[in-house]
């Protein structure tokens, strides 16, 4: 396929409730919607970089620059056999995985539409439903947290992740554990700790957690190895794993026992599948992380999570957990068994709601 035109849209969407992590609190979520056009067909991709560089160094503005000035010029009007080729073709740009992943997603959507195949099938997915959970941000108090969790359980979510940070770890996790002794519960620190303050993390070891996600710095596999040696609870890495190579090295040195896979963080769905394949071959559980995606990115997450190695519930919640108004016609809903259906229409399997998209758009750019 040959992409003859690209369009970028900077979107800002209002969250139903603020989302707070160890790196900040947001009321609105920004992202870039990428459109790839060829003979009457449009492929959509979502770049998950946010307005601020809190989760990673990428922002909407850095991704916009990298897409406009480097990535898009490199593939505009060029013959591309398969989206998997992008990893090599875009290798001349160092880093910026979210920008690359958004572009690659648009090509996957386009290829699926050209071939009449859902993304799930193109990636090797097998499940028609994907097990999911919900990621709960930091709340005002442990009792407020318990109420919020209770509300999600009432909606049918069977796995809960809570955000933690120093001073808000054992109290919060203990409160949820006391209220729900058998709940599938995990925590995410988003790199808020150093090995020196690991004592508070050691206390979490008695709470029967599924995993502790990304406790230490994103560029520090080695200290994660030290921490994992002191914990029975598996460490799961998120921010630290930017490629299949990182995944291999983290597993080799014992820095983690579980990996959270996000296509945006690792430069695209192809690399995400490579990490999945590596982990499956070593019987390492993986699960699909989330970046508060719109319906576009959520469709891609569901397709990815339909692969056989995704044995833990993903951070892929129903549409109504996120935005007051989404940009897709489709609404992803939670089934009674805490699953969401894998999209079955060609490509991402979603259609855009044009008026909603207009309302969310802050800026657009068409190339050429
Ligand atoms: O660390 O997993 C994370 C959201 C934004 C950035 C980082 C993370 C998250 C989440 C939310 O935990 C997951 C979701 O429901 O999309
Ligand atoms: Mg995380």
The CATH number linked to 242 is 3.20.20.120
Domain of residue 246, residue span: 121-341
Rounded to the nearest angstrom, the distance between the alpha carbon of 336 and the centre of ligand 2 is 25
Q: Is 208 exposed, middle or buried (0-12, 13-18, 19+ CB in 10 A)?
A: middle
Identify the nearest ligand to the CA of 259 by its number: 2
Same structural domain for residues 143 and 111? no
pLDDT at 39: 85
Rounded to the nearest angstrom, the distance between the alpha carbon of 356 and the centre of ligand 2 is 28
Same structural domain for residues 177 and 323? yes
- Confirm or reject: Cβ of 315 under 6 Å from ligand 1: yes
Same structural domain for residues 305 and 361? no
- Tell me if 346 is assigned to some domain: no
- Confirm or reject: Cβ of 317 under 6 Å from ligand 1: yes
Rounded to the nearest angstrom, the distance between the alpha carbon of 213 and the centre of ligand 2 is 6
Q: What is the 8-class DSSP label of residue 137?
A: P
Same structural domain for residues 201 and 327? yes
Total domains in the chain come to 2
Same structural domain for residues 108 and 218? no
pLDDT at 198: 86
Atom 4, ligand 1: residue with shortest CA distance: 291
pLDDT at 197: 86
Same structural domain for residues 223 and 81? no
Same structural domain for residues 33 and 136? no
Of 221, 283, 213, give the one whose Cα is nearest residue 253.
Answer: 221
- Tell me if 65 is assigned to some domain: yes
Strand, coil or helix: 186 = strand
The number of beta carbons lying within 10 Å of the beta carbon of residue 357 is: 18
Same structural domain for residues 76 and 148? no
Same structural domain for residues 134 and 219? yes
* Contacts (Cβ under 8 Å, ≥6 apart) of 182: none
Atom 9, ligand 1: residue with shortest CA distance: 291
Atom 12, ligand 1: residue with shortest CA distance: 135
Q: What is the 8-class DSSP label of residue 314?
A: B
277/191 Cα distance (integer angstroms): 26
Is the backbone peptide bond immediately before 368 cis, with ω within 30 degrees of 0?
A: yes
Catalytic pick from 100, 161, 163, 165? 163
Of 355, 327, 330, 351, give the one whose Cα is nearest residue 11.
Answer: 327
- Confirm or reject: Cβ of 190 under 6 Å from ligand 1: yes
Encode the chain (368 residues) as per-residue pLDDT tens digits.
999 999 999 999 999 999 999 999 999 999 999 999 998 999 999 999 999 999 999 999 999 999 999 999 999 999 999 999 999 999 999 999 999 999 999 999 999 999 999 999 999 999 999 999 999 999 999 999 999 999 999 999 999 999 999 999 999 999 999 999 999 999 999 999 999 988 999 999 999 999 999 999 999 999 999 999 999 999 999 999 999 999 999 999 999 999 999 999 999 999 999 999 999 999 999 999 999 999 999 999 999 999 999 999 999 999 999 999 999 999 999 999 999 999 999 999 999 999 999 999 999 999 99
- Tell me if 185 is assigned to some domain: yes
* Contacts (Cβ under 8 Å, ≥6 apart) of 332: 295, 298, 299, 302, 316, 318, 319, 340, 341
Cα dist from 283 to 47, 259, 345, whole Å = 30, 11, 31
Rounded to the nearest angstrom, the distance between the alpha carbon of 292 and the centre of ligand 2 is 11
Same structural domain for residues 326 and 231? yes
Could you tell me the sign of the dihedral formed by the alpha carbons of 2, 124, 300, 261, in that order? negative
Same structural domain for residues 112 and 127? no
Residue with tokens 């539409």: 113
């Amino acid at each position: 396929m040959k992409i003859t035109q690209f369009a970028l849209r900077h979107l800002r969407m209002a969250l139903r409730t603020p989302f707070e992590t160890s790196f900040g609190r947001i009321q609105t979520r920004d992202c870039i919607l990428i459109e790839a056009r060829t003979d009457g067909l449009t492929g959509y991709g979502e770049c998950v970089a946010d307005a601020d560089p809190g989760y990673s160094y990428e922002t909407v503005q850095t991704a916009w620059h990298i897409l406009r000035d480097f990535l898009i010029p490199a593939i505009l009007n060029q013959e591309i056999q398969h989206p998997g080729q992008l990893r090599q073709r875009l290798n001349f740009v160092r880093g910026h995985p979210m920008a690359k992943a958004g572009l690659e997603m648009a090509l996957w959507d386009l290829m699926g539409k050209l071939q009449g195949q859902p993304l799930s099938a193109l990636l090797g997915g097998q499940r028609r439903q994907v097990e999911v959970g919900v990621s709960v941000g930091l709340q005002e108090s442990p009792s407020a947290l318990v109420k919020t969790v209770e509300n999600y359980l009432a909606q049918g979510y069977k796995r809960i992740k809570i955000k933690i940070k120093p001073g808000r770890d054992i109290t919060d996790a203990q409160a949820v554990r006391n209220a729900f002794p058998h709940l599938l519960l995990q925590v995410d620190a988003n790199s808020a700790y150093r090995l020196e303050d690991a004592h508070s993390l050691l206390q979490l070891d008695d709470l029967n957690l599924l995993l502790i996600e990304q406790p230490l710095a994103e560029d520090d596999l080695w200290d994660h190895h030290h921490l994992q040696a002191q914990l029975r609870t598996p460490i799961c890495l998120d921010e630290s794993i930017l490629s299949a190579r990182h995944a291999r090295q983290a597993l080799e040195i014992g820095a983690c026992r579980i990996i959270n896979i996000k296509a945006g963080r690792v430069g695209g769905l192809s690399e995400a599948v490579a990490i999945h394949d590596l982990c499956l071959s070593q019987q390492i559980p993986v699960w699909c992380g989330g970046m508060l995606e719109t319906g576009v990115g959520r469709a891609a997450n569901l397709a990815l999570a339909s692969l056989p190695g995704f044995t833990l519930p993903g951070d892929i919640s129903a549409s109504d957990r996120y935005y007051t108004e989404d940009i897709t016609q489709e609404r992803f809903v939670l089934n009674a068994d805490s699953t969401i259906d894998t999209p079955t229409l060609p490509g991402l399997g979603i259609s855009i709601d044009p008026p909603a998209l207009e309302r969310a758009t802050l800026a657009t750019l068409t190339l050429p």
